[in-house]
Amino acid sequence: MVLRRNFAGAALTIVVLTVMCANVARLSAKSSAKDRIVLFPKLVAGQVLTYQIAYHADKSATTKSTVATSTPRSPSGTETKVQALLRLEVVGVEAQGQRATVHARTFFQVMNSATYLTVPKDIPTPPDQVQRQDPKGVSIEFTIHPDGRIDQIKDLDILFPEQQQAWQEWAARFAASAALPEGGIRIGQKWKTEELETSPAPISKLTWMRESTYLRDEACHISELTVEGDAAPAHPQQVPETCAVIETSATLKQRSSPNDSTPADYKLHQLQTTGTASGNNKTLLFVSTQTGLLVRSSDHADQKMSVTIAKADDSNRVHYDIHAKSDTEIFRIANSPLNGSTTPPSN
């Protein structure tokens, strides 16, 4: 009887402990879910936002070729500078749970851009390296999907190459919050993602490995535009927002062999490539916890490629060593130059 009562007591204890653990687990899950925040951009049709983009890139290149040619050597490098003011208009929003498909278009209200050539000393520097304006009246349409993908981009190719790059830098940062983990994120959380490099390159199977951290929340302000066209601290009367500060470090990994890195389209043209590519990017995002909209961001990229391109029969070979670095800063702007006055930001 005593032994039976002990068993009964033990069983009762197990039941009580099980219930307690279940309750603790439920409370812990609720607490964890409550600490998480979904930062998908909250946008509505007709909404208008303005961003300033500052993009600067330096690229150096050396070339060695077995092909005899009488043409001058190509430039050994380029320096690109873009200063732009971009107007975003939300065309339509199709809700899908906590997320949405967003259709939008952009215009460059102000665009100053130039690419300067760095040439070998024995080649005269081109005399007319001047700033250029983007084609008038060009709007770039695009779609942001619930997973953060950007596609259906129209008329981007009308812009000059450096202007296209500046737009792509802005689009990637603006849509970054849409690509965050679907269940939301909490302060201190880390997560990893992997994405194939889709830009054309002579080396195949390049993959970006990204590690992100939700560092903290801090007060942030939408910037004002000065008369000179620079982003400046907000007006003192502007009520600050709370921004989630998210840092992402990305590393470019090469999945192909350095001894055979030929992409499929190169093989179609009877070419073969060998070489290596590497890169590191660091991005810091400030995203409004109220709206999920990008308030500001900074990005530094450093990438290298050493590649030899040859005919399939190995008769002609060209070797390239390329080193590219870029810095991008993006600010959301409260006042629009369309009417020359300061207007409240559109949330």
Q: What is the pLDDT of residues 33-69, one digit of tens each?
A: 568 899 999 999 999 999 999 999 999 999 888 765 4
Q: What is the pLDDT of residues 213-271, one digit of tens each?
A: 999 999 998 988 765 566 666 666 667 889 999 999 999 999 999 999 999 999 999 99
pLDDT reading at 338 higher than 80: no
pLDDT reading at 327 higher than 60: yes
List the chain domain ranges. Answer: 37-333
The residues with which 87 forms a beta bridge, in sequence order, are: 50, 107
Q: What is the pLDDT of residue 231?
A: 66
Q: Count other C-beta atoms under 10 Å from residue 185's C-beta.
A: 21
What is the torsional sign of CA 13, 16, 20, 23? positive
If you ran DSSP here, which 8-state letter would residue 45 be given?
Answer: T
336 vs 48: CA distance, rounded Å: 10
In the CATH hierarchy, which fold is given to the domain comprising 37-333?
A: Lipovitellin-phosvitin complex; beta-sheet shell regions (2.30.230)
Length of the chain: 347
How close are the terminal C-alpha atoms of the chain, in Å?
A: 72
Mean pLDDT, all residues of the chain: 81
Percent of the chain, pLDDT > 90? 59
Structure tokens at 96: 């899908």
CA distances (Å), origin 165, targets 38, 81, 275: 29, 11, 25
218 vs 74 pLDDT, higher one = 218
CA distances (Å), origin 182, targets 37, 187, 189, 191, 194: 10, 15, 14, 12, 16
Structure tokens at 198: 């889709």
9 vs 3: CA distance, rounded Å: 10
Query: Which of 186-190, 231-235, 286-290 has the least mean pLDDT?
Result: 231-235
Query: With bands split at pLDDT 50, 70 and 90, how would you rate the model's confidence at 301?
Result: very high
pLDDT reading at 83 higher than 80: yes
The alpha-carbon radius of gyration of the chain (Å, integer) is 26
Structure tokens at 222: 């939408």
Q: 284: buried, middle or exposed (CB in 10 Å: 19+, 13-18, 0-12)?
A: middle
User: Alpha helices of the chain — where are they, by DSSP H?
Assistant: 2-35, 161-174, 264-268
Nearest 5°: phi and psi at 14?
Answer: -60, -40
If you ran DSSP here, which 8-state letter would residue 22 be given?
Answer: H
Query: With bands split at pLDDT 50, 70 and 90, how would you rate the model's confidence at 8?
Result: very low
For 128-146, what is the mean pLDDT?
70
Amino acid letter, 243: C
